[in-house]
Structure 1
Amino acid sequence: MHLKILLLLVAFLFFGCTYIPALPYKIDIQQGNVVTQEMIEKLKPGMTRSQVRFVLGTPLITDVFHNNRWDYFYYLAPRGTLSEKRTLTVIFDGDRLSHINGDFSLSPSSDNLLSATPRLGEERLPYLKEDQGENDKGSQE
C-alpha cells in the first residue's frame, strides 16, 4: 500500500515538473507620445510652437522637409496584440498653430481649429498632395 502511494507521489512530482505553459509571457508594449483628449482640448488657434510643446510634449517626429509639421504617434500592444494606435499631426503657419489632424474625437463645444479624422478615401494632409503634384509636373518637363 505504501509502495503504491509512493509511486503515485513520484509520478505526480514528475508530471508537475514537466508542465510548461504553451505561450511565453509577453509584456505590454507602449511606444510613442501619449496624447489625451484633455491635451487636445487645450490647443487653441495661434498658439506658439513652445506652447504646443508644453501641452503635448516633444513630438516624436519633426519632418525635415516640412518643418511646419509635427507628428505624434502612440502605439499600445498589451501582451502582443495591437490594442491602440493613434496619430496626431500638428500643422503650423509660421510659428503659430494653424490646425491639427488625427485619430481622436472632438467635443461639439470645442471652438478649436481642429479638423476631425478623415473618412475612408479622404486625404489626411491635402498640402502633401499639392507638393507631390509639383514634383510630377517637374518630372513631366
Structure 2
Amino acid sequence: MPSSLRILAVVGLSALLGACSLFKFPGVHRIEVQQGNIVTQEMVDQLKPGMTRRQVRFVLGTPLIEDTFNPNRWDYINRVRDPENEVTQKRFSVYFNGDILIATSGDWQPAGWPE
C-alpha cells in the first residue's frame, strides 16, 4: 500500500507543478514575442512598379506565405505578442503579373506608388 501512496503523491505533485503555468506571478519577466516577417515603411517605400520577383525578395525578404494556388501573390505577415499578452498583427501583400510587380496591399503603402 505504501508504494501506491508514493505513486499517487508523485502524480499529484506533477499535476500541481504543471498547473503553475496557469498563474501569473508578480515580478516575473515576460518577453515580447515576434513572429513572421519584419516589414517596415522604409522597406516598403523602396518598392517600385515593374520590379522583378528577385528585386522584391531582396528588399522585403522571403515571404511568409507563397500560395501554390495563387502564385502571383506573396504575403508578409508580422505578429507581435507583448508582455501583457496583447497581440498585434500586420499584413502586407505584393502582386505580380508573371515576374513583374504590379500592385501592393495591406497595412503599409509605398510612397509615390501610383493609385
TM-score (norm 1): 0.58
SS in 1 for 2:62: coil
SS in 1 for 2:70: coil
Distance 1:31 1:41 in 2: 22
State whether residues 29 and 80 of structure 1, in contact with CA within 8 Å, keep that contact through their aligned partners in structure 2.
no
Specify which structure has the higher proportion of helix.
1
SS in 2 for 1:79: coil
Specify which structure has the higher proportion of strand.
2
State whether residues 90 and 100 of structure 1, in contact with CA within 8 Å, keep that contact through their aligned partners in structure 2.
yes
Give the direction of change, closer, same or farther, for the CA distance of 1:41–1:30 in structure 2 (3 Å limit): same
Matched, 1:45 2:46: no
State whether residues 36 and 64 of structure 2, in contact with CA within 8 Å, keep that contact through their aligned partners in structure 1.
yes
Structural RMSD (CA): 2.1
State whether residues 27 and 80 of structure 1, in contact with CA within 8 Å, keep that contact through their aligned partners in structure 2.
no
- Which residue is 1:54 aligned to? 58
Distance 1:56 1:43 in 2: 9
- Which residue is 1:77 aligned to? 81
- Which residue is 2:35 aligned to? 31
State whether residues 59 and 72 of structure 1, in contact with CA within 8 Å, keep that contact through their aligned partners in structure 2.
yes
SS in 2 for 1:99: strand
Matched, 1:90 2:94: yes
Identity %: 46
Distance 1:104 1:49 in 2: 19
Deviation at 1:24, TM superposition (A): 4.5
- For structure 2, the residue ranges without an aligned partner over 5 or more in a row are 1-23
Distance 1:42 1:35 in 2: 12
Cα distance per residue 1:3-53 (max 9 Å; x no partner): xxxxxxxxxxxxxxxxx9447542211001011001111000010000000
Distance 1:72 1:49 in 2: 14
SS in 2 for 1:111: coil
SS in 2 for 1:40: helix
Deviation at 1:77, TM superposition (A): 1.0
- For structure 1, the residue ranges without an aligned partner over 5 or more in a row are 1-19, 116-141
TM-score (norm 2): 0.71
Matched, 1:112 2:113: yes
